[in-house]
Structure 1
């Protein structure tokens, strides 16, 4: 958990903004940007290991070559950007547990504030609460800490030629080959695939969490480590709520072919998780 006080966190954030906007192509910096709960910190750790570059996490970065991770919208002077994109429905589920239940990486303040603004009768009943929580994320939360929502993040980075975009589900399916294009782009060198696969193995969900992917621990920052978990939590009301705010981007990114998913989806009655990843483009 980040032990810095709020003033230091804000000062560090200002320095990071200055660095990523003005010095990313000079030092250079390797920038990993994501909407929260999309796997960005995991990716940053792997890049740090493969590129042998520091990853200043929860500490003030030095003005030197390093991996920088944050939640940045597109800016014209950013260079060496890797944008990690996750299915927004999975983001919602992951954010629900991260913001409403304490874990080793969040803070009691975040949980207290989110619960105060979302006074659900039973916080463990995620399926019942999701429609209201989706509305909260897209209309209230985006005006507080993040200042933008998942939809606005996608709009910001969609089809930007100066950034490399990778899907979280693709990273889970084939980590090394998903990272390869970005590493070759920023280094100008051919990737050592054997070494990159070893890095991916070192930072796998199983290694980091000591659990198999799909085994849930709602008290852990590394909660589940799969794509498609939204299928276990969303009912029709949640589908309709998400579609209202961000349905176009699900289709634009290839997570869905059309809006048929809303009427076709039924929350699973089984306690077991569906195997495999989302079949997205």
Structure 2
């Protein structure tokens, strides 16, 4: 039987005590007595690393415990929790407030395709029978661009795209945001997120300084300066799929998950 919460290792318990003293004078909550577990739910290629960097630093700033994990690994003492596939058993969670991010599935596919050509993530480097005893990464690298993008569409349909389609967008505990809006208006959207978490205005202002440091534009500048050839971040442009989707890609996508674009508000009909 899976336990709801795990006990943190002794080193983390010691760190937690240090954070407790920090928090007594840095508490970010407007009403500390009503503090709830903060949860951020994401999807693959929808700004997960970006949010992880921001929320981890925000946690450090205010002496809160941050954890990026699956729910069954969640510690009882965790105060900011990031789940990167938005797969939660809400009935087993303590009182919470959270954020949930989505992205145009077509752009997620393009971003995923280029990332999976070089990723070191374990799952993409395990040989599998369905790929001819090759890893997904090696299989993808064996294909040309058109076939590779089609392979990524097929993979994503039962992954991040399905996850976004079954999310409950009416849950009042969560603020739902679009990746595209966040890239355009980082401070405005993050302000809304922190306010939804229950932060007071001073804490929001301090958190926005962290947001500025990890700004999409600033990170890209630092990586360019340091000559990073491989990164989780690419262009961040919305609509990049238009340059790479062929008619065959569009037809396959519409047939298998075209309705999801309507549900998420990325299209109003199938004429795209």
- Do they superpose with TM above 0.5? yes
Structure 1, unaligned runs of 5 or more? 1-13, 20-24, 143-147, 262-281
Deviation at 1:207, TM superposition (A): 3.2
Sort the Cα spacing of 1:260 and 1:72 in 2 relative to 1 into closer, same or farther, 3 A. same
1:234 aligns with 2:248: no
Residue 85 of structure 1 corresponds to which residue in structure 2?
A: 102
Residue 68 of structure 1 corresponds to which residue in structure 2?
A: 81
Pick from 107, 114, 124 the counterpart of residue 97 of structure 1.
Answer: 114
Secondary structure at 1:56's aligned position in 2?
A: strand
- Asked if structure 1 preserves the Cα contact closer than 8 Å seen for 2:37 and 2:79, the reply is yes
Sort the Cα spacing of 1:222 and 1:111 in 2 relative to 1 into closer, same or farther, 3 A. farther
Across the two proteins, how many residue pairs are aligned to each other? 228
Q: Which has the higher helix share?
A: 2
Q: How does 1:215-230 map to 2 (within 5 A)?
A: 217=229, 219-230=230-241
Sort the Cα spacing of 1:18 and 1:244 in 2 relative to 1 into closer, same or farther, 3 A. farther
- Asked if structure 1 preserves the Cα contact closer than 8 Å seen for 2:98 and 2:196, the reply is no
Secondary structure at 1:255's aligned position in 2?
A: coil
Pick from 184, 193, 200 the counterpart of residue 182 of structure 1.
Answer: 193
Structure 2, unaligned runs of 5 or more? 7-32
Q: In the aligned structure 2, how far is the partner of 1:137 from the partner of 1:206?
A: 27
Deviation at 1:69, TM superposition (A): 1.3
Residue 135 of structure 1 corresponds to which residue in structure 2?
A: 154
Sort the Cα spacing of 1:245 and 1:191 in 2 relative to 1 into closer, same or farther, 3 A. farther
Which has the higher Rg, Structure 1 or Structure 2? Answer: 2
Could you say what the CA RMSD is over the residues aligned between the two structures, in angstroms?
3.5
Secondary structure at 2:206's aligned position in 1?
A: helix
Q: In the aligned structure 2, how far is the partner of 1:58 from the partner of 1:254?
A: 29
Secondary structure at 1:260's aligned position in 2?
A: coil
> Higher relative contact order at CA 8 Å, sep ≥6: structure 1 or structure 2?
2
Q: In the aligned structure 2, how far is the partner of 1:248 from the partner of 1:205?
A: 30
Q: In the aligned structure 1, how far is the partner of 2:219 from the partner of 2:69?
A: 18
Secondary structure at 2:82's aligned position in 1?
A: strand
- Asked if structure 1 preserves the Cα contact closer than 8 Å seen for 2:50 and 2:214, the reply is yes
Residue 255 of structure 2 corresponds to which residue in structure 1?
A: 244
Q: In the aligned structure 2, how far is the partner of 1:40 from the partner of 1:154?
A: 18
Q: How does 1:120-199 map to 2 (within 5 A)?
A: 122-123=142-143, 125-138=144-157, 142=158, 148-187=159-198, 189-190=200-201, 194-199=205-210
- Asked if structure 1 preserves the Cα contact closer than 8 Å seen for 2:124 and 2:135, the reply is no
1:49 aligns with 2:62: no
Sort the Cα spacing of 1:57 and 1:159 in 2 relative to 1 into closer, same or farther, 3 A. closer
